[in-house]
Amino acid sequence: MATKTKKARIGIHFFANPARFLRFARKIFPWVTIVAVACIVAALVLGLAVVPPDYRQGDAYRIIFIHVPSSWMALMIYVIIALSSAAGFIWRHPLADLVAKSSAPIGACFTFISLVTGSLWGEPMWGTWWVWDARVTSMLVLFFLYLGYIALNSAYDDPTKGARASAILALVGVVNIPIIKFSVDWWNTLHQPATISKFDRPSMDPSMIAPLLLMVVGFIAFYLVVLIIRLRSEIAARRIRNLRLAQVGNQGASG
Amino acid sequence: MVTAFFSLVGRDLRLAARGGIGSLVVVVFFFIAVALFPLGIGPESALLERVAPGVLWVCALLATMLSLGRMFEEDYEDGSLEVIALGPLPLELVVLAKVLAHWLTTGLPLIIAAPVLAVLLNMSSKGFAVLMISLLLGTPILSLVGSVGAALTVGLRRGGVLISLLVLPLYVPVLIFAVGAVEGAIFGFGERAHLLILAGGFFASLALTPWASAAALKMALE
C-alpha cells in the first residue's frame, strides 16, 4: 500500500529531493543557456535589423520585441509562483517553495522592464511618459503585488514560515488578480474612454511575429537559467545554514 | 458555538471600549486626512466637489488599514490568541468574530463620520445615500481582506509597514467600485451595477478570506 502511493505520487515528489534536482539541473543547464542566448540574439538581430520599420511608428515600434515578451513573462511567472505556492502549501514540497521564492524577483524585474519600456515607448507614440490606462495600471498593481510577496517572504527569520506565509499571500493574490484587472479595465473605460483608441494597434505583419516569438522563447529559457542559478544558491544557502546549526548544536552538546 | 462566537465579539468590544481611544483615533485620523486635501489642492468648492467621493474613500481606506495591525497583534503578544485557538471555536470563526469586532470599532465609526466630512467637502447631495450604502458594503470587505494581511504579519517585527504593502493592492477593486457608485449617483449614470458588484465582493470575501486568515494564524501559532 505504502509503495503504491509512493509510486502514484512520484510525479510531484520526484524533485522533492534537492540532490536529485541538482543532478537534473546540471544536465539541462548548458542546453537552456544555449537556447536562451541563441534565441535572444536571433530575435534582436531580426527585430532590430532585418524586419522593416513600421509605416506609422517608424523604428520606435521595435521596442515591442522587449516590451511584449516581458509583459507576458511577468504574468506567466506570477502564475508559476501561485502554482508552486499551492504545491508547497498542500504537499509541503520543499523545492516548490524554493521555486516560488526564487521566481519572485525575476518576475518583479520583468514587470519593471515592461513598465519602463512601455513608458519609453509611450513618449514618442502618445507624447507622454505615463498614461493611467487600464493595462498600465494593472501592470503597476502587479508590480506592487510582487513587492509585497518578496517583502513578506524575507520578513520571516525561519525560511519555511516565510514560504508558507507568502504562499497564502500568492494564493489570495491569484484570486484577486482577475478582479483587480477587471475593475481597473472598467474604471478606465468609465473615466477616460478617449485613451483607449490610442491603444488600438495596427494588426501585425507576419515578419514581425517571428522575432517576437523567438524573443518569448528566449525569455522563457533565460528565466529557467536564472531560476536554476538562484535555486542552486538557495539550496547551498540552506545546506550551510543546517551545517552551522548542527555545528552549534554539537558545540552545545560537548561543552 | 454561537455563544462562543458572540462572547469573543463581546470581549473584543469591551477591550476596545475600556482599553482606550482606539476607534476614536481612527475617526480623528479620517478627519485629519480629509482636512489635508483642501489644504493641499486648494479650497475651491467646485474642485472639492469633484474629488470628494474619491478623497473620502481613499481616506477611509487608509484609516481602516492603519487599524489593521491591532486585529490580532495584542492577543498574539499576551498569549490569549493561543487560548482562543485551543477553545471550542474553529479558527475560521475566530477570524470572523475578530473581523466583526474590528468592523464595529473602525468601519462603523467611519460610516458615521463620513456624511459630516462629505458636507465639509461640498459633496453633491445626490451622492449621500449611495456613499453610505457603498461604505456599508465596502468597509466590511476592507476588514475581511485586511484580516489576511493582519494574520500574515502577526508576530513580525515591523509588521505595520509591511501590512500596507500587502493589503493596499488588494483594496484596489473596492476603491474603484465604491467611488464608481458614488460618482454614478452624482453624475446620473447609475449606481446599481457598482453597488451590486460591491455586494458580490462582500459575500465572496466573507466566504473566502477567513480560510486564508485562519491558515496564516495557524502558521503563526506553530
Task: Please give the ipTM for the structure prediction.
Answer: 0.87
Interface contact B168, partner A, CB < 8 A: yes
Q: Which residues of chain B does A88 touch, with a Cβ-Cβ cutoff of 8 Å?
A: none
User: Which cell numbers in the block locate residue B94?
Assistant: 475566530
Cβ distance of A172 and B168 shorter than 8 Å? no
Spatial separation of the C-alpha atoms in residues B65 and B150, rounded to whole Å: 10
Q: How many CA atoms lie within 13 A of A255 on its CB side?
A: 6
Per-residue pLDDT tens for B21-46?
677 888 999 999 999 999 998 888 88
Cβ distance of B172 and A164 shorter than 8 Å? no
pLDDT at A139 over 70: yes
Nearest C-alpha of chain A: how many angstroms from B72?
A: 15
**Could you tell me the pLDDT band of residue A2, with boundaries at 50, 70 and 90?**
very low
Cα–Cα distances in angstroms (integers) from residue B12 to residues B17, B136, B174, in the given order = 9, 21, 26
Q: Which residues of chain A does B164 touch, with a Cβ-Cβ cutoff of 8 Å?
A: none
Q: How large a percentage of chain B has pLDDT more than 70?
A: 99
Q: Which residues of chain B does A187 touch, with a Cβ-Cβ cutoff of 8 Å?
A: 176, 180
pLDDT on residue A1: 38
The backbone region for A231, taken as left when phi is positive above 0, alpha when psi lies in -120 to 50, beta otherwise, is alpha
Nearest C-alpha of chain B: how many angstroms from A101?
A: 16
Q: Which of these, A229, A178, A215, lies nearest to A28 by C-alpha position? A: A229
Average pLDDT over residues A15-22: 79
Residue B57 sits at φ, ψ, to 5 deg, of -70, -40
Cβ distance of A152 and B172 shorter than 8 Å? no
Q: Please tell me which residue, A86 or A178, carries the higher pLDDT value.
A: A86
Judge contact between A163 and A89, C-beta under 8 A.
Answer: no
Task: Identify the residue among A92, A168, A181 best suited for mutation to test binding to B, counting B beta carbons within 10 A and taking the highest.
Answer: A168
Interface contact A109, partner B, CB < 8 A: no
pTM of the model: 0.87
pLDDT on residue A64: 84
pLDDT at A10 over 90: no
Cβ-proximal residues to B177 (8 Å cutoff; 6+ apart), any chain: A183, B134, B138, B194, B197, B198, B201
